[in-house]
Amino acid sequence: MPPCGIAAWGHPFFKKHISMEEKPERYLRFPLFRRIEHWVMALSFTILAVTGLPQKYAENPISEFVLGLFGGIEGARIVHRIAAVALALIAIWHVGYAVWHLFVRREKATMMLNKDDAFNAWETLKYNLGRKDERPKQGYYTFEEKIEYWALIWGTMVMVATGFFLWNPITAARSLPGEWIPAAKAAHGGEALLAVLAIILWHLYHVLVRTFNRSMFNGYLTREQMEHEHPLALEEVPRPALDEEKLARRKTQFWVGYGLVATLWLIGLVWFVTTEQTASATIPPPQGMEVYVPLTPTPLFAVETVPEASERYGDTWDGGIGALFAEKCGACHDPGDGRGGLDLTTLGGALAGGESGPAVRPGAPGVSLVLVWSGLPGHPGEFSPLEQAAVWNWILEGAP
C-alpha cells in the first residue's frame, strides 16, 4: 500500500514508545482510514470481478448461476457499474492521500520502485532456492508489496480507460477508430483475468498463507513481524519536526490544487456515467410492415366493362363471338387437324372441346378452358381484356 506507512511513523502511539526508549510490542501500520480504503476497494474489486468475469466466460454454467444471483445479465451490469464508480471514487481519494503525505508532510516515498527492489527480488529468489542463508533486509515496503501496489495502479488505469470505451462506445468512436472498442473489450477482459489471478496468487498468498497478516484488520504488525519483514524501517532515524509556517502554506496549496483536481475528477465521473444513451431501450421491429395484407385477385378485366364488351363483340355465337373465336383462335384450332384436337371455329367444336376437356362450359366461365388456356403465358392466341369480358359474359349467359 501507498506511502501511508510513513504516516504511521509519525503517529503519537509510535512516538510515545520511542520516547520511552524501549521497543514497542506492536507497530501501527494501517490507521483506520487506510483500512477503510482497503476494504472498500476490496469489496468493489470483488464485485467487479464477480459481475465481470461471468460476462467474459458467458458460456460457463457457473457464470449462468452467478448472473442469476443478480437477476440476470442486465442486473449484473448495473451492479458492475456501481462498483466501478466506487472504485473511481477510491482512486481520487487515494491520490489526495498520497499527495498529502508526500507533498504536504514531506514524507519519504516509500512505495517508489528503485534498484534495491530488483536486488531484493534476486536475493529473495536465491534465498528461496537455498543458495543463501539470509533473506535480504527490506524497508517499510518490501518489493513484494510494491509489485502488488503498482500492479493495482496499472490495472485500475487500464480498466478505467477501457471501461470508458465500453460504457460510452459512441462517444469514444467520435474521435477514435471504431475498432478501438472491441480492442478495449479484449483488454478489459484480459486485464480483469490477470488482476483476479494475481490477487489470488500473489496477494492472498503473502497476506494469508505465508504469514497471517492482521494489520489490515486491526492496524498493527507485531515486533517480530516488523523485525522479520521490514528490518530497515526499524533503523530509520525519526525525521525532524516540520517547519509550521511552510507546512501551513503547503496545506493551502494542497487544498487549492487537490480541490481543483478532485472537482474535475468528479465532474468527469458524472460525465463518464451520464454522457451517452448508447442504445434505445427496445429494438425497433425489423420491418415496419403490415402482417395481414390479403391478396386480392387481379381481375382479368374490370367488371364495369362487361356491357361495353358485349355491345362491341356481341353476346351470342352468331352475333359476334363466333367471329371473334375464328379470328383469335381459328388459325390453330381449325376444323380437321385442330391443335390439341380442338376446333374453335364452330360452337359445336367449342362445346365438345379437345384433349383437355370442353373448351366452353356454358354457365361456368371460370372453368371454361378457352379462358384458362388463352390466359396462360406463352399461348400464341390471347384475348384483350375487353374481349375476355365479352367471352366471359357470353359463357356466363349459357353460351347461346
Partner 1 sequence: MRPRDRYLLILLGLISLAGLGLLTGTSESVASASPAFQTTPIPVGSVPMSNAECLECHGDPTMILPLPSGEQVSLAVDRIVYGTSIHGQLGYACVQCHTDITGFPHPETDFEDARDMTVHMSQTCGECHTDAKGEYEMGAHAALQESGEKTAAVCADCHGSHSTEQFSAGRTAIARACQQCHASIYDAYADSIHGESLLNEFNVDVPTCVDCHVAHNNTGPTTEGFHLRSPELCAKCHANEELMSKYGVNTDVFETYIADFHGTTVSIFERTTPDQETNKPVCIDCHGVHDIQSPENTDSTVYKQNLLSTCQRCHEDATTNFSDSWLNHYEPDPENHTIVWVVDLFYSIFIPATLGGMALFVVTDFWRSRIKK
CB of 391 to partner 1, least distance (A): 12
Is 128 a residue that touches partner 1 (CB under 8 A)? Answer: yes
Of the candidates 354, 356, 353, 330, the one whose C-alpha atom is nearest the C-alpha of residue 399 is 353
CB of 283 to partner 1, least distance (A): 5
For 211-227, give the DSSP string. S---HHHHSEEEHHHHH
Binding to partner 1 (CB under 8 A): which residues in 248-307? 276-287, 289-295, 297, 299-300, 303
Is 49 a residue that touches partner 1 (CB under 8 A)? Answer: no
Q: How many residues bind partner 1 (CB under 8 A)?
A: 81
Angle between helices 306-313 and 385-396 (to 10 degrees): 90
Q: Name which of 11 and 206 has its Cβ closer to partner 1.
A: 206
Q: Name which of 99 and 347 has its Cβ closer to partner 1.
A: 347
How many CA atoms does the CB half-sphere of 378 hold within 13 Å? 0
Of the candidates 310, 305, 297, the one whose C-alpha atom is nearest the C-alpha of residue 396 is 310
CB of 289 to partner 1, least distance (A): 5
Please identify which residue in the block is written with the cell numbers 351470342: 316
Q: Name which of 237 and 283 has its Cβ closer to partner 1.
A: 283
Figure out which of the listed residues 3, 52, 169, 322 binds partner 1, where binding follows CB under 8 A: 169
Residues 57 and 50 sit within 8 Å (Cβ to Cβ)? no
Q: Name which of 21 and 133 has its Cβ closer to partner 1.
A: 133
Binding to partner 1 (CB under 8 A): which residues in 185-204? 185-187, 190-191, 193-194, 197-198, 201-202
CB of 350 to partner 1, least distance (A): 16
Figure out which of the listed residues 13, 93, 149, 180 binds partner 1, where binding follows CB under 8 A: 180
Binding to partner 1 (CB under 8 A): which residues in 349-378? 357, 361, 363-367, 371-372, 375-376
CB of 72 to partner 1, least distance (A): 5
Q: Using CB under 8 A, which of the segments 17-25, 126-134, 234-242, 341-349 binds partner 1?
A: 126-134
Contacts 24+ apart (CB under 8 A), 96-99: 96/258, 96/262, 97/2, 97/4, 97/33, 97/37, 98/2, 98/3, 99/254, 99/257, 99/258
DSSP secondary structure code for residue 26 in this structure: E
Figure out which of the listed residues 21, 59, 235, 245 binds partner 1, where binding follows CB under 8 A: 59
Residues 385 and 301 sit within 8 Å (Cβ to Cβ)? yes
DSSP secondary structure code for residue 28 in this structure: E
Binding to partner 1 (CB under 8 A): which residues in 297-336? 297, 299-300, 303
Please identify which residue in the block is written with the cell numbers 482510514: 33
CB of 171 to partner 1, least distance (A): 9
* β-strand partners of 221: 27
362: cell is 356454358
CB of 46 to partner 1, least distance (A): 19
Please identify which residue in the block is written with the cell numbers 520502485: 113
Figure out which of the listed residues 16, 72, 119, 246 binds partner 1, where binding follows CB under 8 A: 72
Residues 313 and 324 sit within 8 Å (Cβ to Cβ)? yes
Of the candidates 92, 117, 132, 17, the one whose C-alpha atom is nearest the C-alpha of residue 259 is 92
Q: Name which of 241 and 281 has its Cβ closer to partner 1.
A: 281
Please identify which residue in the block is written with the cell numbers 382479368: 300
CB of 90 to partner 1, least distance (A): 23
Q: Using CB under 8 A, which of the segments 181-189, 312-320, 333-341, 345-353 binds partner 1?
A: 181-189
